[in-house]
């Protein structure tokens, strides 16, 4: 059997070992066995890399004993936990394909993904038993799934009779390294996009693309061996799964929250001596509202990355006043995460920019003809690198539309300056045209975030007989005295006339997907217009 650490072929000649992402954990356990690798905050469980790897091996071995083979899809429906991450590495080691499931989806939506991916094994957390039971009752018809093995993780006393116990299966399996299968261009995971504009598509990543995603992150970011990284995005999201994998590669302790809570986040930053983290802008906003300088100690914290949506400049400056550096990052599921990152030295001077391309990444801003835009000219972001997805699962036409000549066309609008700094504007599909001029909602949202009575805002286009489309601001206010006229007046000297919203609607919560992006599709359904003339 090929060693997890090196190969000794009988000829005595050294051959290149195939790349399997599951062996990242194997190698880290070999190099740093006693180092704390995983902290499960909500259960207070702590695991060294050696312990974490042994658990992953047991999971690999029980999956293989259950008949899971190379190329088989295994779906995960669990909250953030050690069981989630050990399952991911376990699936990778035996060459199976992980299908992370968004636990916020309905049973009908989950059934679609399970059916589309062809998954036959589902590992699920106890809190999702009701939804999974509905899936189980659907059977294998057109509205059902192909699931044959249901594996339950949680309180065994509450386990449904048709499901096997994860804990029992793991405890009864060997901790020895499994025979490795799958490597290089073999499939590693299928991660379904959030579906902000329609049915989700499965972005397919291989062991190679995931490895290069990790390599470009660790070659670019200020992440050190021995850092303590606070992970609170859901692990079904690339913004959590890729950093978690990169942490194993680098030798970083992952301190993992079951789900985000702003007050608890500040407590963990203090108690766990957190050095680095990633939060989407909405999380940063919530954290700012609960900040208590008498209780918070962030003296170990070097930086917080923030992505998934443009970070308002006012938010960057607010954290800078607290002595916390915000590094804006830009990436997508299809790029395994990385595309652009702002460096520490540029974070304040270039506030509003998402920085330059990662180390092993190329980024362009192109026009409709696919040619490079002039500096400052708006266009579409195109990305190239070995961390780009292989394809959209079962979607050859969508793949051909998105990947052209090795470049992934993101659908995001941006500008690039003379020095190569990228400024993300918005999804091109979310852009609207008012009086013949392009309006990017993120620019208007950035202005609105500067109002001291506005917690957050989303901007959409509404049909207008006079202008084609006009902007509408959907606002969460911190003070009930805030009026529509006050919001409109606030924008008048900060935005060109065609960019100014013509209507304001107040709402309790802005709908967002799990990565923090505003669900503009839902806002357009809720506020169809027409715009006031």
**How do residues 299-324 score in pLDDT, each as one tens digit?**
999 999 998 777 888 889 999 999 99
The CA angle 126-123-87, to the nearest 5 degrees, is 115
One domain for residues 240 and 389: yes
CB distance 382 to 410 below 8 Å: yes
Residue 517's domain spans which residues?
A: 431-526
What is the torsional sign of CA 6, 8, 13, 15?
negative
The CA angle 89-81-331, to the nearest 5 degrees, is 70
CB distance 327 to 342 below 8 Å: yes
Using DSSP, how many helices (H) and how many strands (E) does the chain show?
15, 27
* DSSP one-letter string for 64-132: HHTT--TT-EEEEE--SSHHHHHHHHHHHHTT-EEEE--TTS-HHHHHHHHHHHT--EEEEEGGGHHHH
Q: Which of 427, 444, 465 is the last residue of a domain?
A: 427
One domain for residues 91 and 222: no
User: For residue 188, is it within any domain?
Assistant: no
User: For residue 368, is it within any domain?
Assistant: yes
Distance of CA 368 to the CA centre of its chain: 28
Residue with the larger pLDDT of the pair 437 and 270: 270
DSSP helix/strand/coil, 470: strand
Backbone phi and psi for residue 446, each to the nearest 5 degrees, phi listed first: -65, -40
User: For residue 445, is it within any domain?
Assistant: yes
One domain for residues 241 and 343: yes
Cβ neighbour number for residue 42 with a 10 Å cutoff: 14
- Domain count within the chain: 3
DSSP helix/strand/coil, 169: helix
Cα–Cα distance measured from residue 251 to residue 439, given in angstroms and rounded to the nearest whole number: 44
One domain for residues 496 and 437: yes
**How do residues 395-435 score in pLDDT, each as one tens digit?**
999 999 999 999 999 989 999 999 999 998 877 778 887 87
Q: Which of 382, 410, 427 is the last residue of a domain?
A: 427
Q: Which of 396, 427, 458 is the last residue of a domain?
A: 427
User: For residue 231, is it within any domain?
Assistant: yes
One domain for residues 216 and 300: yes
One domain for residues 144 and 272: no
User: For residue 489, is it within any domain?
Assistant: yes
Section 337-348 average pLDDT: 90
What's the pLDDT at 434?
Answer: 86
The secondary structure of residue 158, as a DSSP letter, is: G
Contacts of 438 (CB under 8 A, 6+ apart): 378, 431, 432
**How do residues 52-95 score in pLDDT, each as one tens digit?**
999 999 999 999 999 999 999 999 999 999 999 999 999 999 99
One domain for residues 420 and 453: no
- Tell me which residue of 284, 290, 325, 323 sits closest to 307, measured CA to CA: 284
What's the pLDDT at 6?
Answer: 43
User: For residue 52, is it within any domain?
Assistant: yes
One domain for residues 141 and 113: yes
User: For residue 467, is it within any domain?
Assistant: yes
**How do residues 372-392 score in pLDDT, each as one tens digit?**
999 999 999 999 999 999 999
One domain for residues 225 and 361: yes
What is the torsional sign of CA 24, 30, 35, 38?
positive
User: For residue 193, is it within any domain?
Assistant: no
What's the pLDDT at 194?
Answer: 61
- Range 346-376 burial, b when 16+ CB lie within 10 A, else e: bbeebbbbbbbbbebbebbbbeeeeeebeee
How, if at all, do strands 253-256 and 228-231 pair? Answer: parallel
> What pTM, to 2 d.p., does this model score?
0.84
> Is residue 165 over pLDDT 80?
yes
One domain for residues 209 and 221: yes
Question: How far is CA 27 from each of CA 33, 223, 309, rounded to the nearest angstrom?
Answer: 9, 19, 34
CATH code (residue 37): 3.40.50.12780
What's the pLDDT at 429?
Answer: 78
Cβ neighbour number for residue 204 with a 10 Å cutoff: 22
* DSSP one-letter string for 405-433: TTEEEEEEEEEE-TTS-EEEEEEGGG-EE
Cα–Cα distance measured from residue 239 to residue 5, given in angstroms and rounded to the nearest whole number: 28
**How do residues 117-147 score in pLDDT, each as one tens digit?**
999 999 999 999 999 999 999 998 888 999 9
Give the ranges where 326-435 is alpha helix by DSSP (H): 396-402
CATH code (residue 447): 3.30.300.30
One domain for residues 66 and 213: no
One domain for residues 238 and 385: yes
């Amino acid at each position: 059997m090929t060693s997890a650490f090196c190969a000794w072929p009988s000829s005595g000649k050294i051959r290149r070992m195939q790349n399997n992402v599951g062996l990242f954990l194997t190698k880290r356990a070999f190099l740093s066995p006693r180092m704390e690798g995983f902290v499960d905050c909500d259960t207070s469980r702590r695991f060294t890399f050696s312990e974490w790897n042994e658990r992953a091996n047991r999971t690999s071995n029980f999956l293989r004993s259950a008949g899971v083979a190379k190329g088989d899809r295994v779906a995960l429906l669990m909250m953030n936990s050690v069981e989630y991450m050990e399952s991911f590495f376990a699936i990778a080691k035996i060459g199976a394909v992980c299908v992370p499931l968004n636990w916020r989806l309905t049973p009908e939506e989950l059934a679609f993904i399970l059916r589309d991916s062809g998954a036959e094994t589902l590992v699920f957390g106890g809190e999702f038993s009701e939804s999974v039971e509905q899936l189980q009752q659907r059977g294998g018809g057109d509205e059902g799934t192909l699931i044959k093995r249901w594996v339950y993780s949680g309180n065994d006393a509450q386990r449904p009779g048709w499901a096997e116990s994860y804990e029992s299966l793991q405890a009864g399996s060997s901790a020895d390294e499994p025979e490795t299968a799958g490597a290089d261009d073999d499939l590693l995971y299928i991660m379904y996009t959030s579906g902000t504009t329609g049915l989700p598509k499965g972005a397919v990543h291989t062991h190679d693309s995931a490895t290069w995603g990790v390599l470009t992150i660790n070659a670019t970011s200020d992440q050190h061996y021995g850092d303590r990284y606070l992970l609170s995005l859901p692990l079904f999201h690339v913004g959590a799964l890729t950093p978690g994998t990169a942490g194993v590669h680098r030798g970083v302790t992952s301190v993992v929250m079951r789900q985000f809570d702003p007050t608890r986040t500040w407590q963990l930053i203090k108690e766990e001596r957190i050095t680095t983290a990633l939060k989407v802008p909405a999380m940063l906003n919530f954290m700012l509202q609960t900040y208590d300088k008498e209780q918070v100690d962030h003296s170990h914290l070097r930086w917080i990355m923030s992505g998934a949506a443009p970070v308002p400049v006012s938010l960057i400056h607010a954290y800078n006043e607290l002595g916390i550096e915000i590094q804006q990052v830009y990436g997508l599921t299809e790029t395994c995460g990385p595309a652009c990152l702002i460096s520490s030295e540029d974070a304040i001077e270039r506030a509003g920019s998402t920085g330059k391309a990662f180390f092993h990444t190329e980024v362009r801003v192109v026009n409709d003809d696919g040619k490079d835009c002039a500096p400052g000219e708006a266009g579409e972001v195109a990305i190239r690198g070995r961390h780009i997805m292989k394809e959209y699962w079962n979607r050859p036409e969508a793949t051909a539309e998105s990947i052209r000549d090795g470049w992934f066309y993101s659908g995001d609008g941006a500008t690039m300056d003379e020095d190569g700094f990228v400024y993300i504007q918005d999804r091109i599909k979310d852009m609207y045209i008012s009086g013949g001029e392009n309006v990017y909602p993120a620019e208007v949202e950035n202005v609105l975030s500067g109002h001291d009575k506005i917690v957050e805002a989303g901007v959409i286009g509404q049909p207008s007989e006079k202008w084609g489309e006009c902007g509408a601001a959907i606002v969460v206010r911190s003070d009930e005295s805030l009026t529509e006229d006050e919001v409109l007046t606030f924008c008048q000297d900060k935005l060109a006339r065609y960019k100014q919203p013509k209507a304001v609607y107040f709402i309790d919560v802005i709908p967002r997907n799990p990565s923090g992006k505003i669900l503009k599709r839902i806002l357009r359904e809720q506020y169809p217009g027409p715009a006031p003339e």
